Structure 1
Amino acid sequence: MRSPAALWARTLEHQEHRDARAPGRTWDLRLVPAAVSAWLTGLLGTHLTPAGTAAAAAGYLVTLVLAAVLLRAGPVRSGLLRVRPLRVRLLRSGARAPTAARPDRAPHGPPWSSIALSALAMAAVLLSAAADRQNSTHGALGEALDGGGTLVVTAHVVEGPRPWTAPAAGPAGEDRTGVALELALHELTHRGRTVPAGATVTVFADGPAWSALSPGRRITAVLVADGEPAPGPVTLRAAAPPTVLPAAPPTARDRVRERFVRSTAGLGPDAAGLLPGMTFGERSALGEELEQAMRDTGLTHLTAVSGANCALVTALAGHAALALGARRRTCLLTGLGALGAFVLLVGPDPSVLRAATMGGLAALGLLTGRTSVSLATLSGAVLVLVVLHPALAAEYGFVLSVLATAGIVVTTRPLTRWLGRWMPDALALTVAVPATAQLWCAPVLVLLQPAVPVYALAANVLAAPVVPAVTVCGLAGLLVLHLPAGDTVALLPLTVGGWGTQLIAGTARTLAAAPGALAPWPAGIPGAVLMAAVSAAAVGAVHLLDVRRRRPRPVAGALRGGSAPPALPEQHWRDRDRRRRRRRAAAAALLLLLLAGLALRAVTEARRPAPPWEAVLCDVGQGDAVLLRTAPGRAVLVDTGPDPRALQRCLEDSGVEHLDLLVLTHAHADHTGGLAAVARLGGAGELWYATADPGPPPELAEDLPGAEAHRPPPGQTRTVGGLRLTVLAPAPATPRRWGAASSAEENNASLVLRAELTGADGSTTSWLLAGDLEEEGARALLRSAGAQLDVDVLKVSHHGARNGGTAIIDAATPALAVVSVGRDNDYGHPHPQILGHLRDAGVPLVRTDEHGSVRLLREGARLRALPVDG
């Protein structure tokens, strides 16, 4: 009897020969138990203590050993259970069938090598997790986590804010909501001691200042440790809004990315939002409306760096070297070098490293003569990544990537063969790849969004022919941008890629607007379990159908006498082939017609002129942004809101190409956070600001470096086209003796404007824009402004908060009130007291949380408020 080590060596030596002899595709399961063990250990480590994780891993290992013994050690009998090892021997044509089992051959024992490798994998993950925990919690951070307390940290944002919800403490309470984001700590101060820090922590926070942070921002913040160390990543709570620090000088990577983004800005909003994302994962210019449409149609993965992007970069570089006459080793090194440069461009965060590992392995398989990634390759990648970074096991992106790749490896071929009976092989493969990925990932996707995108398969099938072309065009443009006259040369591939993004955007919008685009599904664990059962049944049905189709037909049967039936004429077979070709051609023509229709719609929407308006109340979430028209394609912007993407979408939908004046009423993030969209538009001709602090908002130096800003005094006027602006408040700020301004002081320092818009017919509409003025500032304004407060349209101060008071409403006597506020915000804006006062005064109200972005215009003696997309 051979030893387990000898059996393992023999298995490795002859695996390829067994694959070659087996009919169809075989699955290499040797590394799967170790990969699953490593992943399970890393996942448990995020929910249990180190001791609990070790105990659970030991229990899993014992279960694995018992299962192996039961299934592989020979006959097992106990009452109702009788298990024998299953052996199937495939006979070649002419081979002699065995008549009896060979008595001199002992049954195989349990797969001790796989079990030993699983144990080693779990031990490695436990040690790696312990080392990460030790590195994260030593020194001042460890003291804070053990004893609780407050920390002042300097950090940069690694991953942007993600929404979270915590259930209410009691049955009558409301659920708590906020955002969670990853911070890389550079320095921290605890109990009067300031030390450098190199840890990454998860911060739970609420408020618009935290929601407006984007990856890469440098901040200082006050964080709180509960003093109860929890398993998994280090978590802290925010005790106050963050302070955004000036950006560090741009690196070479930042300059490359920024140059590409600028080059795509003139290709239309769809190209500006999708082309950088499909090339290297940059989604800052992606509009919220298009992002939601892609989420509802299962196309969000196109704007994230995936294994497909990394495989494409590696394979293209390797084949380019091959075309130049390089040998295989040089081609491999060239491909790996290109992949490394691509990872540096995108950013070496864990999700990108995961995609690069899997995509690189796929591309290396192609360059070395293998046709696809095997389960062994995938399992090896999972094993290495989880051992090096155990926290990956709990990341949704990692799990979805592994499941999608496993589904493509295991289920795509059977589904392609089955679909090939009714459609061309290329179309069958195009349908099978997204279908299998969707089936395998569905249980995890319903945890993220308790709904099923009904048209996800159709959207992915329609986008599949375009995606590689867009990615290749984006990569080509990225390369040639840095050559002499690169801006001109890159215009061709970027324009072609932009056409492709219009097709994808049109597909997403059309299918997202179709009836029943999202089917509701139970939320939480029950919904995931139900979806797992449905997906498993569907995958099992696919494999069962494939097995039945490939099963040889029986050759035994009863002989019937008489003459054989006459042979069918050759024309019969020709007609059958002709009908089959016609059906396939009709399917391809239908697909092309659908793509052409989507392209026509996308081009039509891109060239559709903006509707008429005099002012636009932009829906930017929990923040303010108001456009006042000065001329066709030109406007004055009052505040930017917290989200650059939302502001950019409003500017595009309104047809604004230039800002004559930008006004920042005060230095809060929900009024200044969208400055990046203004920078992408080319800045503004003039800039006004107000703040309780002596200097301008720090976001100006970061997003609009070199811009000259002016703090206008009360009484200053500015006339631009048909718009006249008058500054009503605040009075010049007195120098502060100590400390930064409080939130209330900053709100009461808001720049208050009276705007008068004169239409083409000579009629004038007056506006009052009071920023976030609270009652104390409102009383001062009432004393100084007097009759100038009487207007047609009032932008209710402070998003309708109760502390804004009702005195301004009574003094303005408006014909219409508008409130810029975010849906389901944590502040309860607008307050019922303000709403009741407006209702009692008979003033109609427009709200962005209910109506979205709204365009306002005067038609004779009547004011009209219409949705921007209506």
Structure 2
Amino acid sequence: MHAASGSRLGASHPRREGPVDLRLVPPALAAWATAAVMLDASPQLAGGLALGCVLVAGVLLGGWGSRARRGRASVPPEGGRDGTPVRGEPCFERPRGRAPNVPRDRAQGSAQGRPPGPAQGLPAGPARSRAAGARYGWSRTAGAAVLLCAAAAGVSAGLHGADLRRGPVPVLAREYATVTAEVELTSDPRLARPKVTGNHMTPDSVLINGEVRNIVAGGPDRIGGPDRVAGVAGVATRAPVLVIVDVGERRSEGRRTGGGGPADVGRGVRQAWLGLLPSTRVRVTGRLAPALTGGDRIAAVLRLRDRGGRAMPSVVRQPSAAQRIAGRLRAGLREATDGLPADARALLPGLVVGDTSRITPELDEAFKETDLAHTLAVSGSNLTIMLALLLGPPGLAQQVERRGLAPRLGIPLRTTALLGGVLTLGFVVVCRPDPSVLRAAACGAVVLLALATGRRRSLIPALATAVLLLVLYDPWLARSYGFLLSVLATGALLTLAPRWSAALRRRGVPPRLAEALAAAGAAQALCAPVVAVLSARVSLVAVPCNLLVEFTVAPATVLGFATLATAPWAMPVAKALAWCASWPAEWIAGVARTGAGLPGAGVDWPGGWGGALLLALATSVAVLLGRRLLRRPWLCAACAALLLLAVVRPPPLTRVLTGWPPPGWRLAMCDVGQGDATVLAAGDGTGVVVDAGPDPALVDRCLSRLGITRIPLVVLTHFHADHVAGLPGVLRGRAVGAIETTGFAEPVDQVAFVRREAEARGVPLVRAAAGERRRLGPLDWEVLWPPARQVPEPEGPNDASVTLLVRSAGIRMLLLGDLEPPGQQALARSPAAVRLGRVDVLKVAHHGSAYQDPDLLRAVAPRLALISAGADNPYGHPAPGTVAALEATGAVVLRTDRDGALAVAGTGTELRVAGD
């Protein structure tokens, strides 16, 4: 059939691909760079730049027009003397691949490599001059287009940037004024990720982006009470702000809150805010403050503090009809997934509509570690999957053999395109029309539309058009890392991936596998440098993890959208669809957790743009070497084996290569920043963990490097966040027998956190008390503190710290937790004091703070003193006086902020210590 059609491609593929059209790329890049720079510029500078660009563009276009007119006046027409075409050369059609008015034999001769001359190719006279003029005119037109796009981007960026600096909001923010304002929400409310600050977690906060539409300086007390606020005429404005609602109660230590107290009020305020929809207008009273970082798209921060429910939102105007519909659909999706396993319940809303409110910090960290975080964000891939379901595979949309739901239902192509537009609009409404969703919809729709035409080379100008229009519409996207990653990933799929896929197919790789490998590798190659800027870390498992989830993202997304559409009308059907979607969602979560749990899942890398450039150079070298390696299968296999060893990092091999951990180690102090995490060796792959540090990722990484897979006991000396917040990292992928804690249950929020983590994994909680003794393999320990009944009750959790005296291979180790002088003095007066004399290793209390009992330090007289402290911590730990006092007793002092992770090995007579 193809031969009969007279075309190599056949009748069903009438188009031939020409060279890649890059004409729109320079204007798009110019607009992008100009917008990023001019957002901070003054309106005068932005206007001056735009005017200058327009004037220069006018000069370029004017010069080209005059030269073109002069050229037409001086160059005689081609053909005969009367301007008629030369015989045998039709004037209505130019064959593909030939210059105008060039006979076929001359064109073929030039194509065969013979140099053009008067008898071949263009004549040496007027035609050559006209070709040079055309090239000259094109260069001037291209330059003018770049300048005009830069001018437009400069004007748009200048106007958007000026919005942040004018009006009353920035002025009041610099004065930290208390204001009453009407705020229109522009995003979904979201809970802030808790962070460890010192020994406590930051209070729960709700974050919302909004626009101040009306503002009154002063709170209700200043203008006559809450009932008079509505009657006071404010100043109309339109300033973007970040609203922070502090709804957590930071309770004082030693105080317990009963039911119906401030905690219940805080939960009510939190739920009230989290239930609001975008486009809702609320009246609030709070304190304005300048934005913490420059270059952001907010004019100020509006902080509301919950005091007895006074932060409760007062709704002035209900959300729009579109947002109410979207809210109903999203709520239906959450309800339909309520009965699913934890990972699927958290992932499905994120995969479908970008709702990550149920994603736990542990799971979020696993997705970041494996570079799978893009699956949790609304991206063009979501829309592409749905449009592919409607249109069929890319490249067949305009062919007779096209597939998809639309042709199977007999829907014409134009109607199918209309349905695709409706689907895109619904996608924007449900996923919120904020800039990130608009970017995803524009890129996803443009890319799939160009692919559906079967003209892959037309994708580059389509992507450039999308970038240009989006940057002009919202210049703040020019500074968005998410936007940059999206464009880079899409560009990789359009440029590198097809070439790499063809190269792999030529070497015998199956087509589907070649496409998957090329897509994952190309996206990782271009995006990894930007990710390194953000995280200062490079994932070694990103490509295999993305390959493993690629075939499950599509079914999970399709079934998730089906659940979303049916939930408001038929909840039983929606629950059944959600149950089906839970299987691929669980697989995706399992891949993320497994990949993140590998010891060599990632390597630290220099941050900043210098590190990005270094990684880009390293990637380029790896690609060049990879082309040579593909010709030698045995070298490919060897490299794959080396990469596998680097990722898995078997402890025996790691110990031989790095010397860490040292053979026969007995105690290891992990470097977890400003916190505590200590591991006691109890056999091959087994260890007792004392405290978990503040960061799950850091303690998990330390345990993986030590080869710990089984933990018979986790001892949490007390409930401060810098000792317990990393508990999920200890429990991740390991068999844990029990968690032992102090009996002083403060602070209550961290006590609740530990109990939730233990219940979620079925790990029992037990209470430590003085006199308890245990033995495990070569390890035995005794609990010295606190007593079963501590009288008087300690002033805070520090003095209730579990204190252990540990013996292993003749080494005596004393772990003091965070005991302060009152607790240390009480310990010295207790019956256990007789066993405190002359220990080999001392874990210094409270990160080496100045609050130490010198009598206890002299009585203990350690040979080795270990201090766990974070580099450049704001508390000055360890205190110079404490270090001096320890050295005065003859101890060798080592600290994690300078020496990294520490490991103690040897015996009681020959003590060795090694740093990582």
Task: Indicate the TM-score class for this superposition, using the shorter chain for normalisation.
Answer: 0.5 to 0.7
Shift of 1:755: 1.6
- Which of these residues, 802, 815, 828, is aligned with residue 753 of structure 1? 802
Q: Partner of 1:74: helix, strand, or coil?
A: helix
Q: Which residue of 2 aligns with 1:621?
A: 673
Shift of 1:504: 12
| 1:646 partnered with 2:706 | no
Shift of 1:765: 3.7
Tell me which amino acid in the other structure corresponds to 2:862. Answer: P
| 1:27 partnered with 2:21 | yes
Matches within 5 A, 1:270-285: 284-285=361-362
Matches within 5 A, 1:345-360: 354=439, 357-360=442-445
In structure 1, C-alpha distance between the alignment counterparts of 2:836 and 2:429, rounded to whole Å: 56
Asked if the contact 1:643–1:674 (Cα under 8 Å) also holds between the matched residues in 2, the reply is: yes
Q: Partner of 2:456: helix, strand, or coil?
A: coil
In structure 2, C-alpha distance between the alignment counterparts of 1:437 and 1:351, rounded to whole Å: 19
- Which of these residues, 769, 786, 798, is aligned with residue 816 of structure 2? 769
Q: Go from structure 1 to structure 2 and tell me whether the alpha carbon gap of 1:287 and 1:465 turns closer, same or farther (over 3 Å shift).
A: closer
Tell me which amino acid in the other structure corresponds to 1:42. Answer: A
Matches within 5 A, 1:510-549: none
Shift of 1:128: 4.8
In structure 2, C-alpha distance between the alignment counterparts of 1:614 and 1:397, rounded to whole Å: 45
1:775-828 CA-to-partner distances (Å, cap 9, x unmatched) read: 565556555674454444322122223344655432322233222223444444
Q: Partner of 1:646: helix, strand, or coil?
A: helix
In structure 2, C-alpha distance between the alignment counterparts of 1:612 and 1:528, rounded to whole Å: 39
Q: Which residue of 2 aligns with 1:148?
A: 176
Q: Go from structure 1 to structure 2 and tell me whether the alpha carbon gap of 1:829 and 1:723 turns closer, same or farther (over 3 Å shift).
A: same
Q: Which moved more, 1:153-162 or 1:59-68?
A: 153-162
- Which of these residues, 790, 794, 798, is aligned with residue 846 of structure 2? 798
Q: Go from structure 1 to structure 2 and tell me whether the alpha carbon gap of 1:359 and 1:799 turns closer, same or farther (over 3 Å shift).
A: farther
Shift of 1:375: 3.4
Tell me which amino acid in the other structure corresponds to 2:786. Answer: L
Asked if the contact 1:794–1:816 (Cα under 8 Å) also holds between the matched residues in 2, the reply is: yes
Larger gyration radius, structure 1 or structure 2: 2
Q: Go from structure 1 to structure 2 and tell me whether the alpha carbon gap of 1:291 and 1:493 turns closer, same or farther (over 3 Å shift).
A: closer
Tell me which amino acid in the other structure corresponds to 1:369. Answer: G
Shift of 1:837: 3.3
Shift of 1:190: 9.3
Shift of 1:367: 3.5
Q: Go from structure 1 to structure 2 and tell me whether the alpha carbon gap of 1:637 and 1:159 turns closer, same or farther (over 3 Å shift).
A: closer
Q: Which residue of 2 aligns with 1:470?
A: 549
Asked if the contact 2:843–2:865 (Cα under 8 Å) also holds between the matched residues in 1, the reply is: yes
Aligned length: 712
Q: Which moved more, 1:182-191 or 1:121-130?
A: 182-191
Shift of 1:385: 3.4
Q: Go from structure 1 to structure 2 and tell me whether the alpha carbon gap of 1:477 and 1:702 turns closer, same or farther (over 3 Å shift).
A: farther
In structure 2, C-alpha distance between the alignment counterparts of 1:612 and 1:487, rounded to whole Å: 49
In structure 2, C-alpha distance between the alignment counterparts of 1:162 and 1:353, rounded to whole Å: 34
In structure 1, C-alpha distance between the alignment counterparts of 2:63 and 2:535, rounded to whole Å: 40
| Unaligned residue ranges in structure 1 (runs of 5+) | 1-19, 78-87, 164-180, 204-208, 210-215, 266-274, 543-581, 736-744
Q: Which residue of 2 aligns with 1:697?
A: 750
In structure 1, C-alpha distance between the alignment counterparts of 2:615 and 2:669, rounded to whole Å: 41
Q: Which residue of 1 aligns with 2:464?
A: 379
Q: Which residue of 2 aligns with 1:74?
A: 67
1:647-671 CA-to-partner distances (Å, cap 9, x unmatched) read: 233344443445645525243x323
| 1:724 partnered with 2:769 | no
Q: Go from structure 1 to structure 2 and tell me whether the alpha carbon gap of 1:437 and 1:749 turns closer, same or farther (over 3 Å shift).
A: closer
Q: Which residue of 2 aligns with 1:494?
A: 587
Shift of 1:117: 6.8
Q: Which residue of 1 aligns with 2:741?
A: 688
Q: Which residue of 2 aligns with 1:655?
A: 708
| 1:813 partnered with 2:861 | yes
Asked if the contact 2:196–2:694 (Cα under 8 Å) also holds between the matched residues in 1, the reply is: no
Q: Partner of 2:126: helix, strand, or coil?
A: coil
In structure 2, C-alpha distance between the alignment counterparts of 1:354 and 1:160, rounded to whole Å: 29
In structure 2, C-alpha distance between the alignment counterparts of 1:72 and 1:254, rounded to whole Å: 65
Tell me which amino acid in the other structure corresponds to 1:391. Answer: W
TM-score (norm 2): 0.57
Q: Which residue of 2 aligns with 1:566?
A: none
Asked if the contact 1:469–1:500 (Cα under 8 Å) also holds between the matched residues in 2, the reply is: no
Asked if the contact 1:182–1:201 (Cα under 8 Å) also holds between the matched residues in 2, the reply is: no
Q: Partner of 2:786: helix, strand, or coil?
A: strand
Shift of 1:620: 1.7
In structure 1, C-alpha distance between the alignment counterparts of 2:793 and 2:216, rounded to whole Å: 32
1:454-503 CA-to-partner distances (Å, cap 9, x unmatched) read: xx9xx89xx76874343224655788898699699948993998499769
Asked if the contact 1:470–1:500 (Cα under 8 Å) also holds between the matched residues in 2, the reply is: no
Asked if the contact 1:146–1:229 (Cα under 8 Å) also holds between the matched residues in 2, the reply is: no
Q: Go from structure 1 to structure 2 and tell me whether the alpha carbon gap of 1:506 and 1:816 turns closer, same or farther (over 3 Å shift).
A: closer
Q: Partner of 1:671: helix, strand, or coil?
A: helix
Q: Partner of 1:767: helix, strand, or coil?
A: strand
In structure 2, C-alpha distance between the alignment counterparts of 1:369 and 1:589, rounded to whole Å: 37
Asked if the contact 1:629–1:723 (Cα under 8 Å) also holds between the matched residues in 2, the reply is: no
Shift of 1:768: 2.6
Tell me which amino acid in the other structure corresponds to 1:829. Answer: H
| 1:44 partnered with 2:37 | yes
Q: Which moved more, 1:367-376 or 1:603-612?
A: 603-612
Tell me which amino acid in the other structure corresponds to 1:396. Answer: Y
- Which of these residues, 704, 729, 740, is aligned with residue 677 of structure 1? 729
Q: Which residue of 1 aligns with 2:99?
A: 90
Q: Go from structure 1 to structure 2 and tell me whether the alpha carbon gap of 1:387 and 1:475 turns closer, same or farther (over 3 Å shift).
A: same
Percent identical pairs in the alignment equals: 25
1:747-786 CA-to-partner distances (Å, cap 9, x unmatched) read: x734333324455x7x674423232x44565556555674
Matches within 5 A, 1:285-364: 285=362, 310=382, 313-314=385-386, 317-318=389-390, 322=403, 325=408, 354=439, 357-364=442-449
Asked if the contact 1:615–1:629 (Cα under 8 Å) also holds between the matched residues in 2, the reply is: yes
Shift of 1:287: 11
Q: Go from structure 1 to structure 2 and tell me whether the alpha carbon gap of 1:507 and 1:334 turns closer, same or farther (over 3 Å shift).
A: farther
Q: Go from structure 1 to structure 2 and tell me whether the alpha carbon gap of 1:780 and 1:483 turns closer, same or farther (over 3 Å shift).
A: same
In structure 1, C-alpha distance between the alignment counterparts of 2:533 and 2:903, rounded to whole Å: 37
CA RMSD, Structure 1 to Structure 2 (Å): 7.0
Q: Partner of 1:655: helix, strand, or coil?
A: coil
Asked if the contact 1:315–1:367 (Cα under 8 Å) also holds between the matched residues in 2, the reply is: no
- Which of these residues, 858, 877, 891, is aligned with residue 829 of structure 1? 877
Shift of 1:593: 5.1
Q: Partner of 2:802: helix, strand, or coil?
A: strand
| Unaligned residue ranges in structure 2 (runs of 5+) | 1-13, 71-96, 108-120, 184-188, 198-204, 230-237, 245-249, 251-269, 275-285, 310-329, 394-402, 561-574, 655-660
In structure 2, C-alpha distance between the alignment counterparts of 1:235 and 1:818, rounded to whole Å: 47
Q: Which residue of 2 aligns with 1:591?
A: 636
Asked if the contact 1:476–1:493 (Cα under 8 Å) also holds between the matched residues in 2, the reply is: no
Asked if the contact 1:619–1:646 (Cα under 8 Å) also holds between the matched residues in 2, the reply is: yes
Q: Go from structure 1 to structure 2 and tell me whether the alpha carbon gap of 1:695 and 1:445 turns closer, same or farther (over 3 Å shift).
A: closer
Asked if the contact 1:314–1:339 (Cα under 8 Å) also holds between the matched residues in 2, the reply is: no
1:346-365 CA-to-partner distances (Å, cap 9, x unmatched) read: x9986676456434532343
Q: Which residue of 1 aligns with 2:84?
A: none
In structure 2, C-alpha distance between the alignment counterparts of 1:866 and 1:524, rounded to whole Å: 34
Tell me which amino acid in the other structure corresponds to 2:297. Answer: P
Tell me which amino acid in the other structure corresponds to 1:225. Answer: A
Q: Go from structure 1 to structure 2 and tell me whether the alpha carbon gap of 1:497 and 1:672 turns closer, same or farther (over 3 Å shift).
A: closer
Shift of 1:234: 3.9
Q: Partner of 1:365: helix, strand, or coil?
A: helix
Shift of 1:860: 6.2
Q: Go from structure 1 to structure 2 and tell me whether the alpha carbon gap of 1:473 and 1:800 turns closer, same or farther (over 3 Å shift).
A: same
Q: Partner of 2:465: helix, strand, or coil?
A: helix
